[in-house]
Structure 1
Amino acid sequence: MLPQVQPLPGAISEILASASRNGCLTKADRYGLMAAILEESLSEEEMRAINRLLRAVNRGWIRVTNDSHSQVA
């Protein structure tokens, strides 16, 4: 049996704001996004925010780090 994963309310908007501010997506951010996606009850706005994050990573505007805490770029 898989463990139940549930995102915290407002987690996606906080991850988006933090990644935009710091220029990086941390390991903790990625776990938060994974939890939100696995929940399968995302609003359209939350899905758009996740897509914006993924595009920013793909374009190199936000880098992915292995640190578990935010770094100021």
Structure 2
Amino acid sequence: MPVSHITLEELFGQVMFSSVVTRHDRRQLRAALLGGSLNEDEYAIINRLLYNVRRGWVKIVD
């Protein structure tokens, strides 16, 4: 399945609105991390998503 090109900012907004991280969202995050060209702000977005998961504010679903 191809990964759509959504910005991390858009992904963050989508996840925070729905309060869930889907399998597709995880694939997009993994692709961004493995791409190796993230800037400091993009790393901060990913860290904020992980923080929200740890706090229980966002759930991971399949």
Same fold (TM over 0.5): yes
Verify: 1:40 aligned to 2:36, yes or no. Answer: yes
Q: Which runs of 5+ in 2 are unaligned?
A: none
1:8 aligned residue (5, 10, 27): 5
- The aligned counterpart of 1:61 is 57
RMSD: 1.6
1:14: Cα distance to partner?
A: 1.4
Larger Rg: 1
1:29 aligned residue (25, 29, 37): 25
Q: Percent identity?
A: 35
Secondary structure class of the residue paired with 1:41: coil
The TM-score normalised by the length of structure 1 is 0.76
Secondary structure class of the residue paired with 2:42: helix
> Aligned pair count?
60
Decide whether the 8 Å contact of 1:13 with 1:49 is kept in 2: yes
Deviating 4+ runs (over 3 angstroms): none
2:48 aligned residue (52, 55, 68): 52
Name the CA distance, whole Å, in 1 between partners of 2:52 and 2:6: 23
Deviations 1:36-73 (A, max 9, x none): 0000110110000000000000110000000xxxxxxx
